[in-house]
Amino acid sequence: MPLLETIGVKVRFGGNIALDDVSISVEAGSVTGLIGPNGAGKTTLFNTITGLQPLTSGQIIFNDKDVTKEPPHKRTRMGLARTFQRLELFTTLSVRDNIRVAGEIRNRWSLRTSKMDVNAETDRIISLVGLSDVADREVGEIPTGKARVVELARALMIQPTLVLLDEPASGQTEEETGQFGQLLRDLAGEGLGICLVEHDMSLVMQVCETIHVLDFGRMIASGSAESVRNNPTVINAYLGAPESVG
C-alpha cells in the first residue's frame, strides 16, 4: 500500500485545466521524482496534496485515509510535510528560530507522549542538514540555496512520514547538491517517504527510484528512472518534437 496516492486529480482555474486526471503514488522509504517542464502543474499538485488548493475532482489518499476534504493542518498532523518553491520562510525570524518554531508548533498538536525536546531536536536537525554555519543569521540574509535547506529542515522538525520537496536544489552549488542527494537517500533509508520536484536531472536520476512526469497538467510517463529517461514522450516534452526543433 503506497503512503500517498492521488486518484484522478483534476484542478481547473476558470477555463484553464491545471491538472487533468493525475494519479501518482509515493512509497514510504523511497524517493519519488515528479518532473516536467515549467508550468506542467507540479507545484499545483503539491498544493492539492497539502490542501492549499481545492481540487475540482479526484481523491487524495494518505496513510490509507481519504484526506481530500481535510484542511492543510490536519493533513500535516497525519505526518505530511512540504517545502515551497517560492520560499515561505518566516522572514522576521533567524534561521534557528525558523526551525525551532516548527518544533514548537508540532509540540502544540502532537500527543503528550510524543512531545519533543525542541532545542535538542533543532540542534540535531541543523547539523543533520548542514546549516550550522548560518544558524544564527537572519533568514533574509542567507543565499537562496541555503534558504531552501532551511525549508527542508523546518519540514523535518515535525517528524513527518512523507515530505514533499518543491525544487529544493535550485540555487545550490554543485557541491551542495551532491551532499543534498546523499541526505535525501539517508532520510529515505530511515523510512521517510520523499516526493521530489526538481529540474536538476542529475540529482533526480541519482536519488529517485520512481519518477512521474507531468506535462500541461497531464501525466505523460511514470516508472523507473531508467524507463523514464529513455521515454520518447518525455524527451519530446522537454525538448519539443524533433520537427519543431529542426
Q: How far is the CB of 221 from other proteins (least distance, A)?
A: 13
When asked if residue 118 is in the footprint of other proteins (CB under 8 A), the reply is yes
Within a 13 Å sphere around the CA of 223, how many CA atoms are in the beta-carbon half? 10
- Scan for cell 510535510, then name that residue: 81
Tally of CA atoms within 13 A in the half-sphere of 168 that contains its CB: 29
From 71, 189, 223, 242, residue interacting with other proteins (rule: CB under 8 A):
71
Over the window 2 to 31, marking each residue x when it contacts other proteins by CB under 8 A and - when it does not, the resulting string is ------------------------------
Is 120 a binding residue for other proteins by CB under 8 A? The answer is no
Start-end of H helices in 91-137: 95-109, 118-129
Question: Is residue 201 a contact point for other proteins (CB under 8 A)?
Answer: yes
Nearer to other proteins, 77 or 189 (CB): 77
Q: Which stretch binds other proteins (CB under 8 A): 60-68, 123-131, 185-193, 234-242?
A: 234-242
Q: What amino acid occupies position 166?
A: D
Angle at 165 between CA 161 and CA 166, to 5 degrees: 155
Joined together, the cell numbers standing for residue 88 give 515561505
Whichever of 126 and 158 has its CB closer to other proteins, that residue is: 158
